Amino acid sequence: MSGHAAPDVVCLGESMVTFLPTRPGRLADVPSFTRAIGGAESNVACALAAAGHRTRWVGRVGTDGFGDHLLDTVAGYGVDVSAVRRDPHRPTGVYFRTDEDRATDAHEVVYYRAGSAASAMSPATVPYDTVAGARILHLTGITAALSADCLALLRELTAPRPGRPLVSFDVNHRPGLWRDGSAPEVLLELARRADLVFVGADEAKALWGLKGTGAVSRLIDGPETVVLKLGRGGAFVVDRRPEPHADIEDADGVAFLERPPRVDVVSAVGAGDAFAAGFLSATLRGLDMRTRLRHGHLMAAAALTVPGDLARPPRRTHADRLAALHAAAWGTLHLGPGWTGDDQEVRTP
């Protein structure tokens, strides 16, 4: 990868063209869609680049127009796409979704990704030097579900080796992609090989029947840091390195709970990726664990207050000011659409 400065973060995975409905309702009833992009890893790369970090997205797309659109759009956020390969024999994946919250039964999503260019990623098609030299390598469980070759690639990238970047792994369980029932075993294996893991409380319950921070951190016993996302309840981070002023301290490590600000939600899609980006941004800056959680919540709030997967993050000085609020002021924070702009207002009751 000569000619490019070493990135702060490399994000590897599939990105697709997504079609967003022009109005709420069932896919069968929506008359038209607008085009955007979607993909957990490229979402994180774009958010981090917009926040001022050097990022690289590693993926594989077709030689079709959708592949052109993906590369142009991701590069437009300032992400290095030089490691993305074009596949002349396989298409770029696309998907359609409804406007409803992903957590509700009303949400529909239809993927056209079987046999996509991204599913051909493997140790043979993705050289290790595309990720070498980065401070953080961000992966998700979605990639592991795309094909046996993709799983082999993730196993290689998470294997111990000298000089390995800090491996960040978002479990990102998508039940529809795991037809063979191997998700609990495979995702736990990959999570244990990472250094930093993001997992939702709902995912931990569905995959492993677990409830509670302690149970999750004991099962995912390899990483130094485990972030358990509680939705509107906030997020716990369990850190196995000593840090003062923890909320909980026991044999599992120290744990911090931070609740999110109140947000006027426009669309819930993309909030998890944005949270990971905010946490990783604060990690790159060496901030303390509680502040990392707050930056995750602020980046998620930016995504929650726009219709698509991606949002312009708050300026760093503004995010730092909010993240530094004392507990009472943080607890009354109320963010709505447009709050990240230059003329933004942060409302408190």
Compute, in degrees rounded to 10, the torsion defined by CA atoms 64, 66, 72, 75.
Answer: -110
CA gap 202, 228 in Å, rounded: 10
Specify whether the CB–CB gap between 80 and 94 falls below 8 A. Answer: no
* Residue where the block lists tokens 């909980």: 248
29 is catalytic: no
Q: What one-character-per-residue DSSP string does 7-35 give? A: PSEEEES--EEEEEESSSS-TTT---EEE
* Residue where the block lists tokens 């490019």: 4
For residue 248, the SS3 value is strand
231's torsion region: left (phi>0), alpha (psi -120 to 50) or beta? left
CA gap 105, 254 in Å, rounded: 36
Catalytic residue, chosen from 64, 99, 252, 273, is 273
For residue 156, the SS3 value is helix
CA gap 178, 103 in Å, rounded: 18
CA gap 179, 266 in Å, rounded: 32
Exposure string over 15-42, b if 16+ CB within 10 A, otherwise e:
bbbbbbbeeeeeeeebeeeeebbbbbbb
CA gap 325, 274 in Å, rounded: 21
Cα-Cα-Cα-Cα dihedral sign, residues 1, 170, 145, 186: positive
CA gap 294, 312 in Å, rounded: 17
Any alpha helices (H) in 77-114, and if so which ranges?
none
Give the catalytic positions in this structure. Answer: 273
